[in-house]
A and B are shown apart, each in its own frame.
Chain A
């Protein structure tokens, strides 16, 4: 158990709908990263938040947005869903284990299926 929690574990929805994925980082971790894992694109970085502020953006679609709340949990919002958004969405939080060594620990993921 990494200490990172994600809910829900599975999500089935229809095209055009909107869903919210939730992530709680490890106790004390300030950074939250979101990744998408799909068969065709592999594992891709979407977005990072650090202590409530957006830190970096990756290949995140405009239909997707995220935020990190004062209690450090984060939500990833996916709207106008398309079939191609079906994927495993991971949240990771990071701890600095030593100089220059920031290790990301992943949650169990949310498996999204868009029908």
Chain B
């Protein structure tokens, strides 16, 4: 079974600094996908970035990048130049293929607070 582990319950960072959010995963599938979602206090889940297990390069989307270390089974999210609006819960997720379904398995999330 697939499992996502996010051990940092919360982090604080100063505005304009970079921050790394940790995510480790466990799966026996040779092909998988890893996602990061952001959940602000308003509650919606916002897709940030995707990394495929066979992708040769680390994914990047604007200020977001994914530090993918396959051998270590980690997929850490790096946010460069933090902004106040980055304060939110962040969830790492893995695509778990099941009989044609591509459901997501989520970690418990971690709370990021960006201080001015």
Docked pose: A111 CA to B41 CA in angstroms: 13
Instruction: Describe B's contact surface by its main secondary structure.
Output: strand
Our count of residue pairs bridging A and B at CB distance below 8 angstroms stands at 69
Number of contact residues on A: which range applies? 20 to 34
A56: Cβ under 8 A from any B Cβ: yes
Residue of B nearest to A90 (CB): B45
Which of chain B's residues have a CB closer than 8 A to the CB of A44?
Answer: 106
Docked pose: A42 CA to B110 CA in angstroms: 12
- Return the CB mask of B19-52 against A: 1 if under 8 Å, else 0: 0000000000001010101000001111100101
Known contacts A106-B44, A111-B43; A58/B103 CB under 8 A: yes
Docked pose: A31 CA to B95 CA in angstroms: 14
* B101→A55 contact, CB < 8 A: yes
Q: Which of A63-71, A78-86, A95-103 contacts B (4 or more CB under 8 A)?
A: A95-103
Q: Which listed residue, A45, A58, A92, A108, touches B43 by the CB 8 Å rule?
A: A108
* A42→B108 contact, CB < 8 A: yes
* A102→B44 contact, CB < 8 A: no
Known contacts A45-B105, A100-B31, A101-B52; A109/B100 CB under 8 A: no
7 inter-chain pairs at a CB distance below 8 angstroms, sorted by A residue, are: A43-B106, A97-B50, A100-B52, A100-B54, A102-B102, A105-B47, A106-B44
What residues of chain B have their CB less than 8 Å away from a CB belonging to chain A? Answer: 31, 33, 35, 37, 43-47, 50, 52, 54, 91, 93, 95, 98-109
